[in-house]
Amino acid sequence: MATAVTAPTAEAAVTEFWDGLVVGASLATLDGDAGYGAIEDGALGWRDGRIAFVGRRRDLPGDPERLADLVVEADGGWITPGLVDCHTHLVFAGDRAGEFEQRLQGASYEEIARSGGGIVSTVRATREAGEDALLAQSLPRARALLADGATTLEIKSGYGLDLDGERKMLRVARRIGQSLGVDVRTTFLGAHALPPEYTGRADDYIAQACNWLATLHAEGLVDAVDAFAERIGFTIAQTRRVFEVARALGLPVKLHADQLSDGDGAALVAGFGGLSADHVEHTSPEGVRAMARAGTVAVLLPGAFHVLRETTLPPLAEFRAQGVPMAVATDCNPGTSPLLSLRQAMQLACTHFRLTPEEALRGATVNAARALGLDDRGALRTGLRADFVHWNIARPAELCYWLGGPLARAVYAGGHRLS
Q: Which residues are annotated as a binding site?
A: 87, 89, 96, 159, 192, 256, 259, 331, 333, 335-336
What residues form DSSP beta bridges with 327? 299
DSSP secondary structure string for all residues of 84-123? EE-------SS--HHHHHHHHTT--HHHHHHTT-THHHHH
Q: Which of 269, 272, 275, 183 has its CA nearest to residue 234?
A: 269
Neighbours of 235 (CB within 10 A): 15
- Angstrom distance (rounded) from CA 229 to CA 260: 10
List the binding residues for Fe(3+). Answer: 87, 89, 256, 331
Binding residue positions for N-formimidoyl-L-glutamate:
159, 333, 335
Are residues 407 and 346 in contact, defined by beta-carbon separation less than 8 angstroms?
A: no
Residue 133 C-alpha from the chain's centroid: 24
Which of helix, strand or coil describes residue 212? helix
> What is the rounded distance in angstroms from the CA atom of residue 407 to the CA atom of residue 402?
9
Name the binding residues for Zn(2+).
87, 89, 256, 331
Report yes or no: 251 and 279 within 8 Å, Cβ to Cβ: no
106 Cβ contact list (under 8 Å, min separation 6): none
Within 148-273, residue ranges assigned H as helices are 163-180, 202-218, 236-249, 265-271
Q: b/e map of 396-414 (b: 16 or more CB within 10 Å)?
A: bbebbeeeeeebbbbbbbb
Q: Which residue positions form the known binding site for 4-imidazolone-5-propanoate?
A: 96, 159, 192, 259, 336
d(CA 57, CA 79) in angstroms, rounded, equals 14
Give the whole-angstrom CA distance, residue 123 versus residue 414: 34
